[in-house]
């Protein structure tokens, strides 16, 4: 009896601490939401008022008037889809070959992929930009998606996963006359679903939130992604905080919703790769 | 007949063709090109010719790179302080019979999935010297107030606090996975010996968790060395504190794509590689002193 009470009270302290921490974690978002409903005057008032006098939902539509948000959102989504699909195809193929096939130069070729993982991304950026410009692809969707689609990150994640599948699977299929392509498509890929899901989520997150690369390659407002658009908006209207808060809230909402819905996969992805953008 | 050691050569070539072409075009060739560019002179219009160490000398003769190096390392060191915070939260969450674990985990993890550009805007507003929320709160409790991100003395630290906030969720997940692997029996044995929760945390949990702590620390530092988005948004181009607060990646962006000095940008990129490798190597060396693998 006494023991339960002790444990309950200890958890009470835990809850107080965790709750205070959680509040600290989300308070910027609460402030962002409250500010997005204020008038410009309210947002710069000293001392600040917590609640808006009347909710200014027009700040949200104002965001659409200042920058071409519609096309930016479309660009962000298309770039994400292209990058994710490309990365899944490329990475699963390469990972399959390295994890399941026996061929010459396997070691050095694999090293070629893994070396890229250890190098900071800046070392690729200038020549990647030159490649995209040479192809005449500046200000395009493929410019946003292409380098990332070929990222060695996915190869690494899927390779680690595929190596854990028992080799008897391939051997049995080969006895039955299946070729490596059929084994990849019908046996290995279906078994990799959890890893593919994790990779999809992580690649989406990288793509949606990325700033430096899209900032460099797509400089026409209609061709920008949302983060770049937001950055431009701040440059143009650096002090209209309610509109900035409304816009930034809208752009983070999709990923937060996806996260809340697919929490388990998100967390598995992070734990699996131990990596973040 | 000897069995073929490489039965899949043809298939490997076919299936690897596209991935490998992409690797060469977008990663391996760029790597080589960046190295060559760092020893070259010229512009995008004239083309580049290899001339020697001129860019390297130019970079290291100036003050910018040194300041950026110091700033980046200071930033990484501060964000590393988020690891002990994450350990405490992870340990609290790990307690048996705790309710609402996934609720807390969701809230702590949200900053990880939110766009850095967007949250940087929010924080910039919170840090505002004239009407920011932070000053208001600090004023109420008698703390110091100032223009946090417009003041060269505080801007980098203010950004680093946001860095800690953003990384906490990731650190938490990795440490939580490590805690799952710590055998419950050891905790219970310590409890039977009369060790309190704090004592158990430091004497049982932390030593067993050192491999995860090490992993989190390495990843935290590597991530910090890449910091760009937060600085780019929180300190706009006209910010008086910007000149003193640039990180390496910011300097890279500025030289390579604002001033279009690609050769100098290439040198800076190579410096980030050297710094990343050096810092990681130091961490792996130090690892022997404090990481215990069961």
pLDDT digits (tens, 9 = 90+) for A196-208: 999 999 999 999 9
- Look at residue A36 and tell me if it is in a domain: no
Tokens at B197, concatenated: 């929760």
My answer on whether B175 and B223 are in the same domain is yes
C-alpha span between B169 and A21 (Å, rounded) = 12
In this complex, do B15 and A97 lie within 8 Å of one another by their Cβ atoms? yes
- Look at residue B83 and tell me if it is in a domain: yes
| pLDDT single digits (tens) A69-88 | 999 999 999 999 999 999 99
C-alpha span between B137 and A179 (Å, rounded) = 67
My answer on whether B258 and B277 are in the same domain is yes
Using DSSP's 3-state secondary structure scheme, residue A274 falls into coil
Within 10 A of A45 (CB to CB), how many other CB atoms are there? 12
Find where tokens 């067993």 sit: B208
C-alpha span between A72 and A67 (Å, rounded) = 9
| Mean pLDDT across A29-48 | 94
**The pLDDT of residue A1 is above 60:** no
- Look at residue B2 and tell me if it is in a domain: no
In this complex, do B115 and A29 lie within 8 Å of one another by their Cβ atoms? no
A212, B229 in Cβ contact below 8 A?
yes
Find where tokens 């431009």 sit: A232
Q: What is the pLDDT of residue A276?
A: 41
| Mean pLDDT across A251-259 | 93
My answer on whether B34 and B85 are in the same domain is no
- Residues in A touching B7 (Cβ below 8 Å): 102
My answer on whether B282 and B246 are in the same domain is yes
Task: With CA atoms as reference, report the closest residue to B149 among B121, B117, B120, B124.
Answer: B124
Q: What is the domain-level CATH number for residue B115?
A: 1.10.3720.10
- Residues in A touching B272 (Cβ below 8 Å): 120, 122-123
- Look at residue A211 and tell me if it is in a domain: yes
| Mean pLDDT across A7-24 | 86
- A4 burial class (0-12, 13-18, 19+ CB within 10 angstroms)? exposed
My answer on whether B116 and B29 are in the same domain is no
My answer on whether B18 and B112 are in the same domain is no
Residue spans of alpha helices (H) in chain A: 2-36, 40-43, 58-66, 69-100, 106-118, 122-134, 141-149, 152-162, 168-175, 180-183, 189-191, 193-209, 212-217, 226-236, 241-261, 263-273
| pLDDT single digits (tens) A84-126 | 999 999 999 999 999 999 999 999 999 999 999 989 999 999 9
pTM for the whole structure: 0.93
Average pLDDT, chain B: 93
Residues found in chain B: 294
- Look at residue A101 and tell me if it is in a domain: yes
- Look at residue B3 and tell me if it is in a domain: no
- Helices A69-100, A106-118: axis angle to 10 degrees equals 140
Task: With CA atoms as reference, report the closest residue to A162 among A133, A196, A138.
Answer: A196
- Residues in B touching A152 (Cβ below 8 Å): 23, 27
- ipTM confidence score: 0.92
My answer on whether B30 and B64 are in the same domain is no
Q: What is the pLDDT of residue B3?
A: 73
Query: CB of B126 within 8 Å of any CB in chain A?
Result: yes
Query: CB of B189 within 8 Å of any CB in chain A?
Result: no
| pLDDT single digits (tens) B188-208 | 888 888 888 888 888 888 888
Lowest mean per-residue pLDDT among A14-28, A183-197, B91-105: B91-105
C-alpha span between A158 and A100 (Å, rounded) = 12
Tokens at A42, concatenated: 């309210």
What is the H or E stretch that residue A159 is in? helix A152-162
- Look at residue B70 and tell me if it is in a domain: yes
- Residues in B touching A17 (Cβ below 8 Å): 92
User: pLDDT band at residue B216, thresholds of 50, 70 and 90?
Assistant: very high
Kindly report the backbone phi and psi dihedral angles of residue B48, in degrees, each rounded to the nearest multiple of 5, phi listed first.
-115, 140
My answer on whether B267 and B216 are in the same domain is yes
Find where tokens 């991100």 sit: B149
Q: What is the domain-level CATH number for residue A175?
A: 1.10.3720.10
- From residue A78, give the alpha-carbon distance in Å to each of A151, A207, A231, B198: 18, 10, 20, 50
Q: What is the pLDDT of residue B1?
A: 59
My answer on whether B187 and B258 are in the same domain is yes
Using DSSP's 3-state secondary structure scheme, residue B49 falls into strand
Domain hosting residue A111, numbered range: 84-225
Domains identified in chain B, total number: 2
List for chain A the helix, strand, coil content (%; round to 5).
80, 0, 20
- Interface A-B, measured as beta-carbon pairs within 8 A, has a size of 270
Return the sign of the alpha-carbon dihedral for residues B81, A213, A98, B270. negative
My answer on whether B44 and B60 are in the same domain is no
Domains identified in chain A, total number: 1
- Look at residue B1 and tell me if it is in a domain: no
My answer on whether B85 and B231 are in the same domain is yes
- Look at residue A190 and tell me if it is in a domain: yes
Domain hosting residue B75, numbered range: 56-290
């Amino acid at each position: 009896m006494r023991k339960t009470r002790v444990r309950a009270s200890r958890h009470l302290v835990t809850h107080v601490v965790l709750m205070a921490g959680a509040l600290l974690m989300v308070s910027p978002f609460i402030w962002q939401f409250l500010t997005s409903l204020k008038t410009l005057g309210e947002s710069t008032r000293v001392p600040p008022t917590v609640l808006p006098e009347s909710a200014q939902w027009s700040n949200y539509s104002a965001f659409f008037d200042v920058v071409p948000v519609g096309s930016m959102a479309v660009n962000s989504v298309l770039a994400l889809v292209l990058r994710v699909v490309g990365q899944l195809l490329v990475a699963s193929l390469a990972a399959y070959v390295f994890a399941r096939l026996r061929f010459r130069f396997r070691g050095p070729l694999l090293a070629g992929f893994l070396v890229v993982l250890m190098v900071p991304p800046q070392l690729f950026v200038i020549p990647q930009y030159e490649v995209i410009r040479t192809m005449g692809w500046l200000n395009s969707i493929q410019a946003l998606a292409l380098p990332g689609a070929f990222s060695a990150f996915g190869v690494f994640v899927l390779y680690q996963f595929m190596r854990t599948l028992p080799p008897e699977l391939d051997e049995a299929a080969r006895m039955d006359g299946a070729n490596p392509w059929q084994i990849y498509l019908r046996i290995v890929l279906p078994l990799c679903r959890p890893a593919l899901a994790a990779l999809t989520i992580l690649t989406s997150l990288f793509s949606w939130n990325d700033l430096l690369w899209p900032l460099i390659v797509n400089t026409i407002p209609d061709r920008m992604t949302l983060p770049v658009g937001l950055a431009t908006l701040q440059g143009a209207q650096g002090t209209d905080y309610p509109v900035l808060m409304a816009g930034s809230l809208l752009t983070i909402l999709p990923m937060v919703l996806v996260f809340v819905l697919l929490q388990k996969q998100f967390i598995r992805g992070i734990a699996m790769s131990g990596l973040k953008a | 007949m000897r069995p073929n050691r490489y039965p899949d050569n043809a298939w490997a070539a076919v299936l690897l063709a596209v991935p490998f072409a992409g690797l060469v075009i977008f990663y391996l060739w760029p790597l080589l090109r960046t190295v060559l560019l760092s020893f070259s002179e010229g512009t995008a219009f004239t083309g580049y010719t290899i001339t020697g160490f001129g860019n390297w000398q130019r970079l290291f003769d100036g003050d910018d790179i040194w300041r950026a190096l110091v700033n980046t390392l200071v930033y990484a060191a501060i964000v590393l302080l988020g690891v002990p915070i994450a350990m405490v939260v992870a340990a609290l969450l790990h307690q048996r019979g705790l309710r609402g674990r996934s609720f807390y985990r969701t809230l702590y993890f949200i900053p990880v999935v939110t766009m850095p550009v967007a949250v940087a805007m929010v924080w910039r507003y919170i840090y505002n010297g004239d009407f920011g929320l932070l000053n208001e709160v600090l004023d109420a409790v008698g703390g110091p107030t100032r223009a946090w991100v417009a003041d060269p003395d505080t801007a980098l630290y203010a950004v680093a606090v946001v860095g800690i906030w953003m990384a906490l969720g990731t650190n938490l997940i990795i440490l939580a996975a490590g805690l799952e692997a710590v055998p419950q029996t050891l905790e219970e044995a310590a409890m039977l010996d009369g060790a309190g929760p704090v004592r158990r945390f430091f004497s049982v949990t932390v030593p067993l968790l050192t491999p995860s702590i090490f992993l989190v620390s390495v990843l935290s530092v590597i991530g910090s060395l890449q910091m760009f988005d937060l600085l780019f948004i929180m300190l706009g181009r006209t910010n008086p504190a910007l000149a003193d607060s640039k990180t390496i990646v910011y300097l890279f962006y500025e030289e390579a794509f604002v001033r279009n000095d690609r050769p100098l940008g290439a040198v800076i990129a190579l410096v980030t590689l050297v710094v990343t490798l050096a810092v990681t190597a130091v961490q792996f060396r130090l690892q022997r002193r404090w990481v215990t693998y069961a």
